[in-house]
């Protein structure tokens, strides 16, 4: 039987009022280190009175805490001979065009066949900042999202790239097909972003008292039959950000089974079924080389499945 997520429910007694959240949890006898607890809190797996919180949150008497502990991931990642589409490589970095269907790093349920396994087989040496399971990984793409991704081969490159992502100075542009016609045709989603209060596998921008700021700039590139081809430029990079922003605006990404819905129009529904994934592609990634300072910019055309979807939608009557 596969391991399951563990759930813990706690209530803060008066004697612990004023304590930091991470310190309180560390004193509860859970089989987790303080650093593990901190990571779970930062991943929004810990709610205080139903809302995400930060590790340093000061607790009050009576606060109700819920903590989810996912099943353990494999202890290590092994090199695997998996082909990679390499866009750029030097002694510090490697930029690849990730196919849809590839998981970025090992986790519960995905012990092998990931991008990290492929990178270890190709490069042999990756930065260790993220640990062995996330070796070299500075940012991620969802399993069913294709496109450009950079990984680091040493710690200096990793830290330099991570600083650029933290400062929002990295250029990230996505090509996305969404349901319906957006009005206005261009604009900005600027919201709070956090885990859904009742479905912990999803994220939301709605009815959040607290959360992390998420900003996506979008513009419609072309009106299609029952859909829109858009460019989404990320200012921040929250989990599922593009998918959540468009879905919460009433225009889910076509083919998104988590945040979307089946289109009412039969032909559009069939095209989404044939695609078999969300119509989302990380088309452009631009940044400064963290060691040399050179300005780098990489782009990837939409893969065959997404290009085929767009072509089919262009041929449909509007």
CATH of the domain at 16: 3.10.290.10
Mean pLDDT (whole number) for 126-143:
71
Please tell me whether residues 185 and 292 are part of one structural domain.
yes
pLDDT at 107: 67
Please tell me whether residues 293 and 270 are part of one structural domain.
yes
CA 274 vs CA 49, 183, 210, 305: distances in Å: 42, 28, 38, 9
pLDDT at 301 over 80: yes
- Of 166, 192, 227, the residue at which a domain comes to its end is 166
pLDDT at 138 over 90: no
Mean pLDDT (whole number) for 71-79:
65
| pLDDT tens digits, 211-250 | 889 999 999 999 999 999 999 999 999 999 999 999 999 9
Burial readout 166-199 (b: 16 or more C-beta within 10 A, e: otherwise)? eeeebbbbbbbbbbeebeeeeeebebbbbbbeee
Contacts 24+ apart (CB under 8 A), 295-302: 296/88, 296/95, 297/171, 298/87, 298/88, 298/95, 298/148, 299/148, 300/87, 300/97, 300/146, 300/147, 300/148, 302/146, 302/175
Q: Do 169 and 287 meet the contact criterion of CB atoms below 8 Å apart?
A: yes
pLDDT at 131 over 70: no
What is the DSSP pairing of strand 64-69 with strand 227-234? unpaired
Catalytic residue, from 142, 155, 256, 305: name it: 142
pLDDT at 70 over 90: no
Please tell me whether residues 197 and 245 are part of one structural domain.
yes
Please tell me whether residues 278 and 185 are part of one structural domain.
yes
pLDDT > 70: percent of the chain: 92
More confident position, 208 or 309: 309
- Which pLDDT band holds residue 39 (cuts at 50, 70, 90)? confident
pLDDT at 66 over 80: yes
- Provide the number of structural domains found in the chain: 3
Please tell me whether residues 276 and 212 are part of one structural domain.
yes
Is 76 assigned a catalytic role?
no
pTM: 0.77
Please tell me whether residues 258 and 192 are part of one structural domain.
yes
Please tell me whether residues 207 and 304 are part of one structural domain.
yes
Please tell me whether residues 238 and 280 are part of one structural domain.
yes
**CATH code of the domain covering residue 207:** 3.30.2350.10
| pLDDT tens digits, 79-104 | 888 999 999 999 999 999 999 999 88
Residue 269, domain extent: 171-315
pLDDT at 201: 79
- Of 43, 69, 95, the residue at which a domain comes to its end is 69
More confident position, 178 or 155: 178
User: In this structure, is residue 76 part of a structural domain?
Assistant: no
């Amino acid at each position: 039987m596969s391991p399951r997520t563990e759930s813990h429910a706690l209530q803060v007694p008066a004697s612990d009022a004023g304590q930091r959240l991470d310190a309180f949890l560390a004193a509860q006898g859970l089989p987790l280190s303080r650093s593990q607890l901190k990571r779970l809190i930062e991943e929004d797996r810990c709610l205080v009175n139903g809302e995400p919180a930060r590790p340093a949150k000061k607790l009050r008497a009576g606060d109700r805490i819920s903590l989810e502990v996912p099943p353990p991931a494999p202890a290590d990642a092994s090199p695997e001979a998996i082909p990679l589409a390499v866009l750029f490589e030097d002694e510090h970095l490697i930029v690849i065009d990730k196919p849809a269907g590839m998981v970025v790093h090992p986790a519960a349920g995905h012990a092998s066949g990931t991008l990290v396994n492929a990178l270890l087989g190709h490069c042999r040496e990756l930065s260790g900042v993220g640990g062995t399971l996330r070796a070299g990984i500075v940012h991620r793409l969802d399993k069913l999202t294709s496109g450009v991704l950079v990984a680091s081969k040493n710690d200096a490159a990793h830290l330099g790239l991570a600083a650029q992502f933290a400062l929002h100075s990295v250029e990230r542009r996505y090509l996305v097909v969404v349901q319906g016609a957006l009005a206005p045709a261009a604009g900005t989603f600027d919201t709070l972003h956090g885990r859904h209060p009742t479905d912990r596998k999803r994220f939301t921008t709605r009815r959040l008292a607290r959360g992390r700021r998420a900003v996506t700039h979008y513009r419609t590139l072309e009106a299609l039959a029952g859909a829109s081809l858009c460019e989404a430029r990320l200012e921040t990079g929250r989990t599922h950000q593009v998918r959540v922003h468009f879905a919460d605006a009433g225009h889910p990404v076509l083919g998104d089974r988590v945040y979307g819905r089946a289109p009412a129009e039969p032909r559009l529904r069939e095209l989404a079924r044939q695609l078999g994934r969300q119509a989302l592609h990380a088309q452009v990634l631009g940044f400064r080389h963290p060691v040399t300072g050179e300005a780098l910019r990489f782009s990837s055309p939409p893969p065959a499945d997404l290009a085929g979807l767009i072509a089919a939608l262009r041929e449909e009557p509007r």
